Chains A and B, each alone.
Chain A
Amino acid sequence: MKRGILFQVKNLSVGYFENIIAKDISFNLFPGEIVSLMGPNGSGKSTLLKTLSGLLPLIKGDILLLGKNIKSYSKKDLSKMISLVLTERPPLQYLSVKEVIALGRYPHTSFWGTLKKEDSDYIDDTISLLKLDSLKDRFFEELSDGQKQKVLIARAVVQDTPLIFLDEPTSFLDIPGKIEFFHFLKIFSKQKKKTIIFSSHDWELCLKYSHTLLFFEKGKSVKMATPEDFLLSKEHHSLLVRENFLPEKIKQSSDVYPNINLQIGDLREKNWVIQALKKRDFFPNKKSFEIKKDGDFTLHSEGKLLIESPTLDKIFEKLEES
């Protein structure tokens, strides 16, 4: 199954005026994909999100949305494709949570902004999806920072766009709130085929829940990879993995995928590969595969070597094709 590319970024440099903050950014996004931006403060994550959503002019490179240059979209058309949550929280007086969320329907309403039945339904669904029922009639200004953040996320969800950009959506949430939020992202993007890009400083959760990782370092080019490849490569290992960070409890690969046989010695590495497989939702039922790690990864099927690669990226691509 080959999926259509939704969003394409080619050799992009972003920054303010002539001052380039992050450069050499290239990636493709598919429907239902979760991408996380990681890196220290001031490395250009927010700048990238603002540039991608058209709030900042790009310095170099191209952004294609459904194959068309993003510059050729009108503001109105773009607002039906991309929704946004920024770190700024507007000082809204005397607006209830529900009214703030309803503002997200703006691109879909007509001249007087009257909400139709389907608009109201969508808003109500989103409110219960994000568990905001108990807050919906309260005034926005009375909420805590974390609650405000959730309301603004709901506002973006209600905008009903295939792409959602979130700038540090979890910065004000408590730990259970963070886990709950990431869980919501996973289910939501899978069910509604939404593509989500977000920046975050919650390493563990980013690695666990995102399909793709963009890693920002000050003054260096932006690196992109599958999170598990980051973990597996020695180069970034020390950068990312803290002392006692380990993914979920260890399972036999055969428990999850009867047709994929993993022959990886290191239990930790094996576990990351399983995690990556699980996220991708591969259910090969005709052929059986074998993934080996002996220095590089190799993918075998029925005794034949399909591909040999140092990263899981290529392995997955091949798997998907087969």
Chain B
Amino acid sequence: MVKLRNKRTLLFALFGIIFLCLSLCVLLRGPIKISLHQLFSHFFNNLSEPLITDVIREIRVPKTLTAIFAGASLATSGLLMQTFFQNPLAGPFILGIQSGSSLGVALWVLGLKFLPFELTSIFHKFGITFSAMSGGLLILIILFLFSLKIKGKLILLIFGLLFSYISSGLINILSLLSEANELKNFFLWSQGSFQRVSFNELPMFCTISLFGLLSSLTLIRPLNLMLLGDNYARSSGLSPEKMKFLLIILTAILAGLVTSFCGPVAFLGVLVPHMARKIFGTGDHKVLIPSVMLIGASLALFSELISSLSDQVTLPLNAILGLIGIPVLFVFLWRGRKSEAFQ
């Protein structure tokens, strides 16, 4: 047992270092060159050229923090969903939660012009977040009701796929009714990016995300019990209904928040919990939740780094996450094909 604990501490330290290095890389990397020295003097001495200060303050710090919180939030929401549905294939993108959020955002962004009055920009942003959360919440509730009646694990995935089709169909119809400008905005949003949270929006984004992450940390003990299934959970003194209600709300907040600010960022949610289980060799949420946050944030930083490798173009985030995520996911599915958990 002591050995095991040491091994885990070592792994946490290792990922902590990777995480810090990646954060530093994202802060330094970009069309405008910033040196390590300039970065440190910006943070610790407040002495630097105005251009560098602006770039760090307005672009690099928001981008880095967004990637960190978005990665951690998506990965955590993926883990919560996998425990909730007792399904290792669950995740906010795969099950169509993010499609629901997209539909909510599309309805809001593209339907805004039908409103008889003008909204101030902060209200507009808040509306986007709220509609993304409600869209995700709606899909989650529908999925939950289905899961009460249907036990198959793959069926749930097919439902998620169908929801994605429904929402993209509706979005297509909506986009026919919209102007080019709104359409472009929506298209850019749907590609996924960590670069659209401005310095002013950052506190709101980080606060909500932090709230969701900290709340999920308080659920470690009941989450472990949920792994045994409803009957065992109930006989151990837990109310599975209350717990499921909490989990639905929390997942909708975490996934909806990220989707509203960064677009439907794909695969991170389903992928990271598998990586964490494999790497740390446990299904215990006491280890899993912190490790999922750390790995999720690192993976988000990594894909952000890849997407801005070239100075000329920023590669779409979802394309990169798809290229990393799908092969890894495939390997997990192939290895787990005999495991009871997938049946």
State the A residues within 8 Å of B (CB).
Answer: 50, 53-55, 74-80, 82-84, 86, 88-96, 99, 103-104, 106-107, 109, 111-113, 141, 159
Answer yes or no: B195 CB below 8 A from chain A CBs.
no
Answer yes or no: B308 CB below 8 A from chain A CBs.
no
A257 and B64 alpha carbons, distance in the complex (Å):
82
Answer yes or no: B286 CB below 8 A from chain A CBs.
yes
Distance of B276 from chain A, by nearest CB (Å) = 9
Whether the pair B235, A55 counts as a contact (CB closer than 8 A) is: yes
A247 and B343 alpha carbons, distance in the complex (Å):
44
Whether the pair B229, A88 counts as a contact (CB closer than 8 A) is: yes
Whether the pair A93, B236 counts as a contact (CB closer than 8 A) is: no
A243 and B134 alpha carbons, distance in the complex (Å):
68
What's the dominant secondary structure at chain B's contact region?
A: loop
Chain A residues whose C-beta falls within 8 Å of the C-beta of B221 in the assembled complex: 106, 109, 111-113
Answer yes or no: B228 CB below 8 A from chain A CBs.
yes
Q: Which chain B residues in 235-268 approach chain A with CB under 8 Å?
A: 235-239
Whether the pair B284, A79 counts as a contact (CB closer than 8 A) is: no
A95 and B280 alpha carbons, distance in the complex (Å):
11
Given A76, A93, A99, A111, which contacts B341 in the complex, CB threshold below 8 Å? Answer: A93
Chain A residues whose C-beta falls within 8 Å of the C-beta of B88 in the assembled complex: 93
Known: A75-B238, A78-B237, A141-B339. A86 touches B232 (CB 8 A): yes
Contact with A along B211-240 (1 / 0, CB 8 A): 000000010110011011101101111110
Whether the pair B234, A75 counts as a contact (CB closer than 8 A) is: yes
The closest CB in chain A to the CB of B223 belongs to A113
Distance of A240 from chain B, by nearest CB (Å) = 31
A80 and B235 alpha carbons, distance in the complex (Å):
9
A107 and B286 alpha carbons, distance in the complex (Å):
17
Distance of A129 from chain B, by nearest CB (Å) = 19
Chain B residues whose C-beta falls within 8 Å of the C-beta of A89 in the assembled complex: 340
Q: Which chain B residues in 262-315 approach chain A with CB under 8 Å?
A: 277-278, 281-284, 286
A60 and B152 alpha carbons, distance in the complex (Å):
34
Whether the pair B339, A93 counts as a contact (CB closer than 8 A) is: yes
Given B228, B238, B277, B284, which contacts A90 in the complex, CB threshold below 8 Å? Answer: B228
The 9 closest A-B pairs by CB, nearest first: A79-B237, A113-B221, A94-B283, A91-B341, A76-B237, A84-B235, A95-B283, A106-B236, A94-B277
Distance of A210 from chain B, by nearest CB (Å) = 22
The closest CB in chain B to the CB of A89 belongs to B340
Distance of B294 from chain A, by nearest CB (Å) = 17
Whether the pair A107, B341 counts as a contact (CB closer than 8 A) is: no
- Interface contacts (Cβ under 8 Å), in number, total 89
Answer yes or no: B86 CB below 8 A from chain A CBs.
yes
Q: In this complex, which of A54, A83, A91, A159 has the most chain B Cβ atoms within 10 angstroms of its Cβ?
A: A91
Counting chain B residues whose Cβ lies within 8 A of the other chain, the interface size class is 20 to 34
Distance of B218 from chain A, by nearest CB (Å) = 8
Chain A residues whose C-beta falls within 8 Å of the C-beta of B218 in the assembled complex: 111
Distance of A120 from chain B, by nearest CB (Å) = 9
Whether the pair A93, B237 counts as a contact (CB closer than 8 A) is: no
A152 and B286 alpha carbons, distance in the complex (Å):
21
Whether the pair A92, B283 counts as a contact (CB closer than 8 A) is: yes
Distance of A151 from chain B, by nearest CB (Å) = 11
Q: In this complex, which of A79, A94, A103, A104 has the most chain B Cβ atoms within 10 angstroms of its Cβ?
A: A94
Whether the pair B228, A75 counts as a contact (CB closer than 8 A) is: no
The closest CB in chain A to the CB of B276 belongs to A94
Whether the pair A106, B283 counts as a contact (CB closer than 8 A) is: no
Contact with A along B330-343 (1 / 0, CB 8 A): 00000000011101
Whether the pair B234, A54 counts as a contact (CB closer than 8 A) is: yes
Given B232, B278, B343, which contacts A84 in the complex, CB threshold below 8 Å? Answer: B232
Whether the pair B235, A90 counts as a contact (CB closer than 8 A) is: no
Chain A residues whose C-beta falls within 8 Å of the C-beta of B232 in the assembled complex: 84, 86, 90
Whether the pair A88, B235 counts as a contact (CB closer than 8 A) is: no
Whether the pair A141, B341 counts as a contact (CB closer than 8 A) is: yes
Whether the pair A103, B234 counts as a contact (CB closer than 8 A) is: no
Task: A79-B236, A90-B227, A111-B218 are known; give 19 further A-B pairs, CB within 8 A.
Answer: A54-B234, A55-B231, A82-B235, A84-B235, A86-B231, A91-B340, A93-B88, A93-B277, A94-B283, A95-B284, A99-B283, A109-B221, A111-B221, A113-B221, A113-B224, A113-B286, A141-B339, A141-B340, A159-B236
Distance of A256 from chain B, by nearest CB (Å) = 39
Distance of B241 from chain A, by nearest CB (Å) = 11
The closest CB in chain A to the CB of B285 belongs to A113
Distance of B152 from chain A, by nearest CB (Å) = 13
Whether the pair A106, B341 counts as a contact (CB closer than 8 A) is: no
Whether the pair B283, A93 counts as a contact (CB closer than 8 A) is: yes
Whether the pair A103, B277 counts as a contact (CB closer than 8 A) is: no
Whether the pair B235, A83 counts as a contact (CB closer than 8 A) is: yes
The closest CB in chain B to the CB of A100 belongs to B228
Distance of B174 from chain A, by nearest CB (Å) = 40
Given A50, A75, A92, A99, which contacts B237 in the complex, CB threshold below 8 Å? Answer: A75
Whether the pair B236, A91 counts as a contact (CB closer than 8 A) is: no
Whether the pair A99, B231 counts as a contact (CB closer than 8 A) is: no
Whether the pair A94, B281 counts as a contact (CB closer than 8 A) is: yes
Q: Which chain B residues in 93-126 approach chain A with CB under 8 Å?
A: none
Whether the pair A75, B239 counts as a contact (CB closer than 8 A) is: yes
Given B231, B282, B340, which contacts A95 in the complex, CB threshold below 8 Å? Answer: B282
Known: A90-B232, A111-B221, A113-B220. A106 touches B238 (CB 8 A): yes
Q: Which chain B residues in 11-64 approach chain A with CB under 8 Å?
A: none
Distance of A57 from chain B, by nearest CB (Å) = 13
